[in-house]
A = this chain, B = another copy of it.
Amino acid sequence: MKRKVTLKQLAKELSLSISTVSKSLKNDPEISQKTIDRVHELANFYNYRPNPLAVSLKSNKTKTIGVLLPDILNHFFAKALFGIEQEATKKGYKIVTCITNESYNKEVEYVEMLSYNSVDGFIVALSQETQKLDKIEHFKEIIKDDIPVVMFDRVSEEVYCDKVIVDDKQASQTALKYLIDTNCKNIAVISTISDLSVGKLRLEGAKKVIGEYDGIEAIEVLIDTPDEAERIIENFLKKNEIDAVLSLDETAASITINMANKLGRKIPEELSVIGFADGLLSKYSYPKLSIMSQHAENLGQRAAENLIERLEQTNNKEKYIPKTEIVKTTLILRDSTK
């Protein structure tokens, strides 16, 4: 089967003009049915496809979405990417994936690179460094140029764009309440992501609940040196008589379970654990972790839906007002809680 035929070649072979062929392929009513049929037949024969580059150049649309992810080895973002890819494909969009590796500079570079006619819009989860530095000029720039951006999970208040987030604060309240309701009194809240927006929200939620109950002890363990997390958590569990842990991120949750096993603490009889995780740990840990599921695929999918909707809305000039969508979390009880 011959491939990569152009309009020009079809036109020549049919002894028609390029524009007639072009119109025929679009079933333009001003072309005779007979011609339309002839053109379609030959086009099918050659398996003709318009050159997307030429179409893009002409239309100023690439049908491509730029996806900026902080870390693809983090299962949460892998799942989100999965959701994005599904939705994009369904709607006829391609995605170009860039991994910022939690670096501000890489993020800026990618935004720069892709914003020059490479993509129609962006789906972004901010890098850790970007959130720390709180520098978001690069996004303000492209938004000013009318390139739509949708942020998810790791978002910035200061960027005027659509957002898809999880009700993190509410989620940790729910989790903590569950622990309290199942008679846990000495609760630790462990986090290795206290500098991320989501980490802060989860901590806030936890604090709020603690403030509302009497007789509940709660210790915050905030770790900002990932390499030492294992040691820190082990020491912490040794020295403190706690009966429940709420882990605000995947790493903390997994280490907690492992260290409890190592120290011979029975889960959930002596120690209840709930973690913010995405399912992988719950599947592969022993005992199976009870999780606050963030439904990463949903987040990704909703982000893509929002972006594409925005990209395809017929330029009505009414002022665009960004919206923030909140995707619900679910507490999934497995074996690490009573």
0/1 string, A257-290, CB within 8 A of B gives 1? 1100110000000000000000011011110000
| In-complex Cβ contact of A96 among B64, B116, B257, B283 (8 A) | B64
A321 CB-CB contact with B under 8 Å: no
A4 — which chain B residues lie within 8 A by C-beta?
116-117, 145
Determine if A52 and B145 form an interchain contact, defined as CB atoms under 8 angstroms apart: no
A97 CB-CB contact with B under 8 Å: yes
Determine if B85 and A78 form an interchain contact, defined as CB atoms under 8 angstroms apart: no
A257 CA / B286 CA spacing, docked (Å): 9
- Whose C-beta in chain B lies nearest to the C-beta of A279? B73
A101–chain B nearest beta-carbon distance, Å:
8
Give the interface residue-count category, chain A.
35 or more
Query: Given A51-B117, A53-B62, A73-B78, A284–B286 Cβ distance below 8 Å?
Result: no
Determine if B284 and A52 form an interchain contact, defined as CB atoms under 8 angstroms apart: no
A64 — which chain B residues lie within 8 A by C-beta?
96
0/1 string, A182-209, CB within 8 A of B gives 1? 0000000000000000000000000000
CB-contacts of A80-123 with B (<8 A): 81-82, 85-86, 89, 94-99, 113-118
Chain A interface residues toward B at CB < 8 A: 1, 3-4, 49, 51-54, 56-57, 62, 64, 72-73, 75, 78-79, 81-82, 85-86, 89, 94-99, 113-118, 141, 145, 254, 257-258, 261-262, 280-281, 283-286
